[in-house]
Structure 1
């Protein structure tokens, strides 16, 4: 099963309002990055990696040509570089995101990106409950507050003037 890393922009923070900006990067071999290396880098807007790839490949080809290798050997060496590009494409994307001050939030194992998003957001929304103004958030880690435990919110309830709580008078009081 593929493994996805989840990245969020650091300046905006990771909250429920920034979920459309989250990026899921699949780990593993990228076939199109191997076949169309510079186009794949440009498509994913990995500009610094694209410049580095062009400079490296030009210097690599010049060094191999200066060593007196034939065209077929240089082509075979370029195929190995393209294969390396396919294996390291996701690492280049994660590196570029980390340079842009994105932070890695989680690692998700799923069959495809949609399933990875669903699994991540199910797990992440449970951990984010109560951080954003969520009226339904309830801390289920402890017992509910009771009237007989000192220090609990219900231990000393405020009693309004006249001794009436709600619509009913106190027992033994006048009912007009």
Structure 2
């Protein structure tokens, strides 16, 4: 199963409004980064990595051609560097996010990015609720608390049903 790291921008008021900016970075091999490295880097706005990639590839290719290295060797070196880009693409994204002062919040294991988001936000909202003691998250199963004020019938909770059964069987102990 793929592993995702969750990153968030550093801010003083980390609340639910910032959740749309969370970044989920899948760890592992990125095929499109290996096949179209320049396009993949530009798509993910990894500008320093893009400049470094272009400079590295240009210097290596020009240097090998000037040294008289055969074209097959130049192709193999380019293919190996493309594989390296595919394996290290996630690390480049995490490095860029840390340079932009983003912090890593969590690591999530899931089948795809949508499942990773669901798992992360389930854990994260439970943790936020525990930290803030949110009264809107209180169980609403019972009647509301009331005061017993003499002369006001609405202040007493309704009696619980004793003989009624809710469900498929209308009377207790009836056969199926």
Normalised to the residue count of structure 1, the TM-score between the two structures is 0.75
Distance 1:34 1:68 in 2: 26
After TM superposition, give the deviation of residue 13 of structure 1 in Å.
4.8
After TM superposition, give the deviation of residue 14 of structure 1 in Å.
3.3
* In the alignment, structure 1 residue 11 sits paired with structure 2 residue 11: yes
Contact 1:12 1:18 in 2 (8 A): no
Deviation track 1:78-118 (CA, whole Å, cap 9, x = no partner) reads 00000000000010011111111110000000000000000
* In the alignment, structure 1 residue 167 sits paired with structure 2 residue 149: yes
In structure 2, the CA distance between the partners of 1:12 and 1:22, relative to structure 1 (3 Å rule), is: farther
Secondary structure of 2:136's aligned partner = coil
- Number of positions where the alignment pairs a residue of Structure 1 with one of Structure 2: 143
After TM superposition, give the deviation of residue 131 of structure 1 in Å.
4.5
Instruction: Name the counterpart of 2:161.
Output: none
* In the alignment, structure 1 residue 102 sits paired with structure 2 residue 84: no
After TM superposition, give the deviation of residue 47 of structure 1 in Å.
0.8
The 5 Å alignment of 1:1-176 reads 1-11=1-11, 13-129=13-129, 131=131, 134-136=134-136, 167-168=149-150
Deviation track 1:2-60 (CA, whole Å, cap 9, x = no partner) reads 00000000025532221111010000000000000000100111111100000111111
After TM superposition, give the deviation of residue 130 of structure 1 in Å.
5.1
Instruction: Name the counterpart of 1:160.
Output: none
In structure 2, the CA distance between the partners of 1:12 and 1:38, relative to structure 1 (3 Å rule), is: farther
Give every structure 1 segment of 4 or more consecutive aligned residues whose post-TM-superposition deviation is greater than 4 Å: 130-133
* Gap regions ≥5 residues in structure 1: 139-164, 169-176
Distance 1:52 1:12 in 2: 33
Distance 2:107 2:114 in 1: 14
* Gap regions ≥5 residues in structure 2: 139-146, 151-176
Normalised to the residue count of structure 2, the TM-score between the two structures is 0.75
More off after superposition, 51-60 vs 13-22:
13-22
Distance 2:69 2:12 in 1: 52
Instruction: Name the counterpart of 1:148.
Output: none
Instruction: Name the counterpart of 1:143.
Output: none
